[in-house]
Amino acid sequence: MSHTTPKNSLSFTVRGRYALFTDPLTRIGGEKCSYHIPTYEAIKGITESIYWKPTFTWVIDRVRVMKPIRTEAKNMKPINISGGNSLATYTYLSAVEYQVIAHFEWNLQRDDLKHDRIEGKHFEVAQRMLKKGGRRDIFLEPASAKAMSSLATSVRDQASTTMRVNSAMV
């Protein structure tokens, strides 16, 4: 079985000191425990933070775990709306690095955007945004800390560009 890479594919690396990919079921009671690998929707969200338009949807082709999977538990004092103090243990992934390969496909549900289906235009914009570190911040853990990420190359031309985005870890 051979994998063919679409010509509008992007390849990038995401790194972070901590990551938290949770299941909504583990949020009951305030305790959070991360999945050992990121969910498809989490990776898709990271990809959409690079460049997104309603004209297309991102499809994640491959995700590769680049560093050994390690967990770390931290005690937190979550905000308790009803008052009082509580203590919760969050189980994070630590020192994470993932390589992602993704491509975009046209959103056929939006016929009104048919005129905007120009593959070269969107691919070039996606490459520029990738080199700049994306359009939106990436959060691999709760919103109090931004992910440090290194986004790089397009599969099409194998350029080697690396960029760091904001990093503010707890």
pLDDT of residue 8: 87
- What is the per-residue pLDDT across 48-73, written as a single tens digit (0 to 9) for each? 999 999 999 999 999 999 999 999 99
Do 163 and 151 form a contact (C-beta atoms < 8 A)?
A: yes
Helix (H) or strand (E) holding 103: strand 88-106
Q: Which domains does the chain have, with CATH numbers?
A: 9-164 (3.30.70.2660)
Q: What is the DSSP letter of 36?
A: S
In angstroms, rounded to a whole number, what is the distance separating the alpha carbons of residues 85 and 30? 12
Placement of tokens 């051979």 in the chain: 2
Question: CA torsion sign, 41 to 45 to 33 to 88?
Answer: negative
Q: Which of 6-20, 43-57, 60-74, 132-146 has the lowest mean pLDDT?
A: 132-146
Split at pLDDT 50, 70, 90, the class of 117 is very high
Q: Which of 84-98, 125-139, 150-164 has the lowest mean pLDDT?
A: 150-164
Do 94 and 72 form a contact (C-beta atoms < 8 A)?
A: yes
Residue 132 has pLDDT above 80, yes or no: yes
In angstroms, rounded to a whole number, what is the distance separating the alpha carbons of residues 161 and 165? 13
Q: Which of 15-19, 26-30, 106-110, 160-164 has the lowest mean pLDDT?
A: 160-164
pLDDT of residue 68: 94
Residue 110 has pLDDT above 50, yes or no: yes
pLDDT of residue 107: 92
Residues, the chain? 170
Burial readout 89-115 (b: 16 or more C-beta within 10 A, e: otherwise): ebebbeebbbebbbbbeebeeeeeeee
Q: Which of 33-37, 70-74, 110-114, 166-170 has the lowest mean pLDDT?
A: 166-170
**Mean pLDDT (whole number) for 113-134:** 90
